[in-house]
Structure 1
Amino acid sequence: MAAIMRLNRCTTVKPSAPTWEGCLPLSEIDLVGSMKHIPTISFYPPPSQNWLTSDDTVSNLLKKSLSQALVHFYPLAGRLRWISGSSAAGGGRLELDCNSKGVEFIEAESESKLDDFGGVLTPVTEYHNLFPTGDYSLPIHDIPVMLVQLTRFSCGGISLGLAIAHAVCDGQSAFHFVSEWASLTRSEPVKTTPYLDRKVLGAGELASAPLHDDPTGYYLPELLPDNDHDRHHEVKSDNSEQKSTVETIMLRLRKDDLEKLRKKAKDSGENPPNRSYTRFEVVAAHVWRCACKARKLRAEQPTSLGVCVDTRNRVTPPLPKGYFGCGAFDLTVTGFSGELVSKPLANVACKIREKVKQVTNDFVWSAVDYLKTQPDLTMFRSDSLELCEAPTPKFYYENPNIGAVSWLTLPLYGHDFGWGKEIYMVPGEIEPESSFFIPDPRGDGSIIVALCLQTAHVDSFKKHFYNDIV
């Protein structure tokens, strides 16, 4: 989008009252998967109240309430730092320095109008100027954990872009924070106090003997030699190459389409399920199969689906209410392309269900202990927070694999900062060969599948995505 964007000012917002200062250990679940800031953008219509039309009023309100929210969520005002001074010396392990250095708050204005974006189905690449990004050329201890960008459009509408380091919190915790921030902006009290002690997931403690050699399943299949004709389309580690070879798409699964998929899964398969498959199980199975078809993988090609499982209620006792950190655990489901596309949808959904069922209390603690015993955690990451020390990641999704992250049960909507609820929200960016499942903001039961694929496979994927529903 060619509209002019102006960055007006950047300020640092600190907690409005003194908070605990010191080192907060991170759990092993915090230290794997993505290390970068995860951006989201929420869009709001023009405020109807006259007193909110001033350019400074909204930003001043948000900064004041943000400083109040940071008293409760003070880890967001801190900085990450390497244990032992560097990534190499500490095995890629980080800790959180709660030092109240604050959150970066950017104010911008755009000549665009909300209508220019076209709504929730607009590819996320159109939003690249609407969320802040961390400067990863800096040392980690100089990069804010959280960045905010308030953008005012020419129509009077607003977008609020957030970027929070994934090592500090996952989606559940991030939207908990946003909900409480919105409440404080409306002069209402915090509803659920965040639980900040990560020792409930073994942070900073010694490992016990893991029950399994590698419960994580992070080692992903590679393309077989006969599929090398596709390699010139593949995503490379260089960012410019990624941008030139992948494409983001937003696809809507209407409620009746979703019900057709669920019925198709229930009525087929080798073993009828004892309960209907969930929305996530059938959509993830559908996306995985369509990706295999679009990529024209050989039947004997192994392929993995990466899924994210929330452990909050899978450990004993469950994590405390309001647990603030990463409670979501990544694991992979593996199969062969020929098996996935030739057998009914139910078989693929069942494969996903059975893998997720393995995430029990014993599994989670065994995985944590396994990660504690690893001399270097960088191999379990999809990226790095510090480019000068970034290893070549071994855990990332590329052809023939794909990631699927469900935001279907997260509190994405209803965040009223005093001028009404958002129209819609989107992820600011999607990693190559990954997907997000988002509830349609219209609340009609539809699902938005946000997906980033190699450009050469996009048209074929779209065809299978809709044709294979019936």
Structure 2
Amino acid sequence: MVNVSIISKKTIKPLSPTPSTQRLHKLSLVDQVVSHSYIPLVFFYTKHQVATIPNGSKQLSQLLANSLSKTLTCYYPWAGSLKDNATIECDDHGAEFFEVQINSPMDKIVYHPDSRIKDLTFPQGTLWGSCIGRASTVAQLSHFECGGIALSVCVSHKVGDGCSAYYFLRDWAALTRNPNAKLAPCFVEDSLIPSPFDGPLVFPLVDSKPEECIQKRFVFSASKIRALKALVAHESGVTNPTRNEVVNALLYKCAVSANDNSGSFKPSQLIQCSNLRASMSPPLPPTSIGNILTVFSTPIYHEEQDLKLPKLVADIRKSKDNLSGRNNVEQNELVSEMLDAYRNGEAPYQQRNCDVYTNTSFLGFEFEKLDFGWGKPARGSIASGPANKIFILMNTPDRRGVEAFVNLNEQDMSVFENYKDLLQFATPIEQAHDLL
């Protein structure tokens, strides 16, 4: 049995007080409609990397605490408290920082087929859990008996999206390497998409339910992705299909087929998140912090024969291209969907009358390069969840492959993980030692 022993718990406050002029952080309409959960990420570093740190792991906790304090001075909303669903009070409440010992070698955690074992590297209660009544940032430094470490960070989704989380982590890493590094996050707040309501929307609008699914992890090597692209390219009419498009199409196809246990095909649709920073007019800098995103959708598929990879890839590309012809501030599909659910008292996407599968891609962010001063992570990961029928994609350490985090209910997963069409291209995590 793997056990976690708490060594210490600290509250890390910003090095400098937040100015009174920045005391209230106004949340945009998109911020208000997203979940009030944490975004839970973790990064693993080997014993050989830890050995390069002066005094090894003895000073590691204090080193990270000091640099986190400096980082929170610039990223002050993540040191604040959620006042209501429209406002974060930047009161310098601070971040929670745990240091723990895990009685297992790192490899047995990283490659364990049960994702719940990997999730032990996260602070208790943070796995897509609510940040209401708790610090907006919670971190944990885990020491393994082999000498390796894991650094997990859970940041409030209310403050920002995956892109925001990446720049927070990138800057924390930069300050750990160099205490004089300059940070320049740009908080857009409610200037882009203000709320049409006088007060905050009643929350929660989106509940995370990780207990309703299990997560399995699959690695697509660079060579397998090339083969997958070649399989669909000549039939789909899509020029240079991306890693995200082909992997996403295959996961969706196999997941829908796994759900078809009754012999009666269930209509379904694939919805994907999209970062809007580069497509805004004028474009926003990538360091813009907030939930600056929308979603785009494939058609609803009513027949099984529609689920052919070339067609799926073509539909994904077409729906993504349609974003460029839309005003994604005034016609933000994510906001429209959530507001409809809010007005009708329904769960999000319920009015579509079909099974909805959702994809989030982190392939555009260089999480695999997060160097806190002892080298790039051996690998990065994300917690199980947040709900059924969700795929999350991250880069492999070489940035050429893809690691897919697939969240399905137990019945569907038992079929999905054995599909020949999937295993032709994907390797289960427990067999992927040589691919990461």
Q: TM-score range by the shorter chain?
A: 0.7 to 0.9
2:17 is matched with 18
2:83 is matched with 81
Contact 1:304 1:401 in 2 (8 A): yes
User: Is 1:183 the equivalent of 2:174?
Assistant: yes
Give, in whole Å, the separation in 1 of the partners of 2:193 and 2:2: 48
1:234 is matched with none
The one of 96, 100, 107 aligned to 1:108: 100
Give, in whole Å, the separation in 2 of the partners of 1:31 and 1:318: 22
Q: Structure 2 matches for 1:50-449, cutoff 5 A?
A: 51-55=54-58, 57-82=59-84, 93-119=85-111, 122-134=113-125, 142-203=133-194, 243=211, 246-269=213-236, 272-273=237-238, 275-296=239-260, 301-339=266-304, 341-342=305-306, 344-360=308-324, 362-367=326-331, 371=335, 378=342, 393-395=347-349, 400-431=355-386, 432-443=388-399, 445-449=400-404
1:385 is matched with none
Contact 1:247 1:453 in 2 (8 A): yes
Query: Tell me, what secondary structure is at the counterpart of 1:319?
Result: coil
Contact 1:268 1:344 in 2 (8 A): no
Contact 2:40 2:154 in 1 (8 A): yes
1:388 is matched with none
User: Is 1:31 the equivalent of 2:32?
Assistant: yes
Query: Tell me, what secondary structure is at the counterpart of 1:29?
Result: helix
Q: CA deviation at 1:11?
A: 1.3
Contact 1:40 1:161 in 2 (8 A): yes
Give, in whole Å, the separation in 2 of the partners of 1:376 and 1:96: 25
Give, in whole Å, the separation in 1 of the partners of 2:335 and 2:53: 54
Contact 1:114 1:153 in 2 (8 A): yes
Q: CA deviation at 1:465?
A: 3.9
Query: Tell me, what secondary structure is at the counterpart of 1:367?
Result: coil
Q: Return closer, same or farther for 1:117/1:468 CA change in 2, 3 Å cut-off.
A: closer
Contact 1:24 1:95 in 2 (8 A): yes
Give, in whole Å, the separation in 2 of the partners of 1:292 and 1:48: 46
Query: Tell me, what secondary structure is at the counterpart of 1:317?
Result: coil
Q: CA deviation at 1:434?
A: 0.7
Q: Return closer, same or farther for 1:282/1:398 CA change in 2, 3 Å cut-off.
A: farther
Query: Tell me, what secondary structure is at the counterpart of 1:404?
Result: strand
Give, in whole Å, the separation in 2 of the partners of 1:101 and 1:238: 25
Give, in whole Å, the separation in 2 of the partners of 1:401 and 1:142: 31
2:202 is matched with none
Cα deviation per residue 1:290-324 (whole Å; 9 max; x = unaligned)?
11211127676321212010101111111234101
Contact 2:42 2:151 in 1 (8 A): yes
Contact 1:403 1:435 in 2 (8 A): yes
Cα deviation per residue 1:193-235 (whole Å; 9 max; x = unaligned)?
100132442346789xxxxxxxxxx99xxxxxxxxxxxxxxxx
Query: Tell me, what secondary structure is at the counterpart of 2:31?
Result: coil
Query: Comparing 183-192 with 351-360, which one deviates more in the overlay?
Result: 183-192
- Superposition TM-score, scaled by structure 2 size: 0.84
Query: Tell me, what secondary structure is at the counterpart of 2:323?
Result: coil
Aligned length: 411
1:383 is matched with none
Give, in whole Å, the separation in 2 of the partners of 1:11 and 1:307: 37
Q: Return closer, same or farther for 1:118/1:96 CA change in 2, 3 Å cut-off.
A: closer
Give, in whole Å, the separation in 1 of the partners of 2:325 and 2:29: 15
Query: Comparing 171-180 with 344-353, which one deviates more in the overlay?
Result: 344-353
2:430 is matched with none
Q: CA deviation at 1:172?
A: 1.1
Q: Return closer, same or farther for 1:48/1:132 CA change in 2, 3 Å cut-off.
A: same
Contact 1:248 1:450 in 2 (8 A): yes
Unmatched 5+ stretches in structure 2? 199-204, 427-436
Give, in whole Å, the separation in 2 of the partners of 1:406 and 1:173: 14
Query: Tell me, what secondary structure is at the counterpart of 1:420?
Result: coil
Q: Return closer, same or farther for 1:190/1:332 CA change in 2, 3 Å cut-off.
A: farther
For 1:179, give the aligned amino acid: R
Contact 1:302 1:336 in 2 (8 A): yes
1:225 is matched with none
Give, in whole Å, the separation in 1 of the partners of 2:354 and 2:37: 22
Q: Return closer, same or farther for 1:371/1:405 CA change in 2, 3 Å cut-off.
A: closer
Query: Tell me, what secondary structure is at the counterpart of 2:214?
Result: strand
Q: Return closer, same or farther for 1:294/1:139 CA change in 2, 3 Å cut-off.
A: closer
Q: Return closer, same or farther for 1:368/1:353 CA change in 2, 3 Å cut-off.
A: closer
For 1:64, give the aligned amino acid: N
Give, in whole Å, the separation in 2 of the partners of 1:50 and 1:141: 36
Q: CA deviation at 1:446?
A: 1.9
1:451 is matched with 406
Cα deviation per residue 1:242-291 (whole Å; 9 max; x = unaligned)?
63x6321111222222112212221114xx23x22211111111111111
Q: CA deviation at 1:238?
A: 10
Cα deviation per residue 1:424-447 (whole Å; 9 max; x = unaligned)?
11002222221111111144x221
Give, in whole Å, the separation in 2 of the partners of 1:369 and 1:276: 26
